[in-house]
Amino acid sequence: MIDIALLRADPELVRENIRKKFQDRKLPLVDEALALDEKRRSLQTEGDTLRAARNALSKQIGQLMREKKTEEAEAVKAQVNADAARLAEIEKESAEVNEQLKSVMMRIPNIISKDTPIGKDDAENVERKRFLEPTQYDFEVPYHLDILEKLQGIDIDSARRTSGQGFYYLTGDIARLHSAVLTYARDFMIGKGFTYVIPPFMIRSDVVSGVMSFEEMEGMMYKIEGEDLYLIGTSEHSMIGRFMNTTLDEKDLPLTLTSYSPCFRKEKGAHGIEERGIYRIHQFEKQEMIVICKPEESEAWYEKMWNYTVELFVSLGIPVRQLECCSGDLADLKYRSCDVEAWSPRQKKYFEVGSCSNLTDAQARRLGIRYKGEGGSKFAHTLNNTVVAPPRMLIAFVENHLRADGSVEIPEALWPYMGGKKEILPRP
């Protein structure tokens, strides 16, 4: 949510930002918010005037009563009662206007970075950097489900019977590899000075509406029937929600946190063969990183965070690239975002395995996350980034470490987490 002061000072900047995001349907929100803001301030002024008058009239009544001017005192009392009735109306109307204004402001996109490329959708995202040379084989790389099944590591059919499309059982060494990657990622981030956290996996609706836009919520979140609870789509949701309506001490910033959680997503829509299997699924596990910092520090943290993900993938021998997200591919709360994509030797192209975002103070305004120092109280900046999400990571892992005989090599960094195992062998 943007600052209402910015909207008042430069509404055309806000309109141009909406156009850059190709959301012209939201342009009327600017005038709607300005009108509601003007009404809110007008009601505030009227209310303040009435309160000041009430204090003066109350003193006048006392004076008139002491002077035995009963009739005049009663007339003033009538005015006080009328003003009190109007004040009650103003307070009720102000609450309604404030709620309407908040609803409109929450639909206006955050101002995007000047470094964000302008484009309509993810097809216009811009590659910035590559890390490691793409893996090349002199044999055909099978579909990832075929690789995993040959390694006796996955059971999709049983999961369809128990849970439906978009679920899976991982078994044996592949299940162990899945856990090894998460544990390695946890220790990797602890080594970077981040504090490890396991958060709640369900959050209330006021947290949901604070951490994401209405469009995202509708497309992602599972609602618990009969409860004011949603399953998290990523641990960022409950991690940021932890600081809702709090004022942090400036000396404690930045907060650098890394969290583990299962994630639950609707993932609506049909997908091609490469996005079936374990690419787009309803349940997966992830290691995340969260930073809450002062505004002047957020861009430096943004650069550090996506580079940490790159460093982790490179340490496991997986070629990746950084892709800057264009304006039309940014969720409304995001100031700037990039994807880390891993190389697929089968598809001979990169695919998304993580996303890093700087939301500036958009989430903090919605959730009331402030920090206080010598300069007074200010809204904090929030950032989030995927360290690793093993389902997609497993695809990149098995494809980039596959051997011609169907076995998969385990890089040295994971040996301690795999009980010293250096390879996963296919069934005879």
pLDDT of amino acid 374:
87
Section 105-116 average pLDDT: 96
* φ and ψ at residue 75, rounded to 5 degrees: -65, -40
pLDDT band at 173 (very low <50, low <70, confident <90, very high): very high
Distances (CA, A) of 277 to 145, 153, 310: 6, 13, 24
- CA 274/CA 291 separation, integer angstroms: 33
Section 278-286 average pLDDT: 89
* Domains within the chain, CATH numbers bracketed: 4-105 (1.10.287.40), 122-424 (3.30.930.10)
Q: Tokens 């389902």 correspond to what residue?
A: 391
Section 52-62 average pLDDT: 73
Residue 98: left if φ>0, alpha if ψ -120 to 50, beta else—which one? alpha
Distances (CA, A) of 280 to 30, 77, 244, 277, 392: 36, 69, 31, 7, 8
Bridge-based pairing state of the strands 336-344 and 230-231? unpaired
* Range from 88-102, 275-289, 361-375, 411-425 carrying the lowest mean pLDDT: 275-289
* Range from 41-55, 190-204, 236-250 carrying the lowest mean pLDDT: 41-55
Name the helix (H) or strand (E) containing 49: helix 28-66
Section 311-317 average pLDDT: 98
Q: Is the peptide bond before 142 cis (omega within 30 degrees of 0)?
A: no
pLDDT band at 268 (very low <50, low <70, confident <90, very high): low
- CA 317/CA 311 separation, integer angstroms: 10
Whether 79 has a pLDDT exceeding 90, the answer reads: no
pLDDT of amino acid 217:
77
Whether 342 has a pLDDT exceeding 80, the answer reads: yes
Please, are residues 362 and 2 in contact by the beta-carbon 8 Å criterion?
A: yes
pLDDT of amino acid 269:
52
**pTM, whole model, 2 decimals?**
0.90
Residue type for 361, please?
D
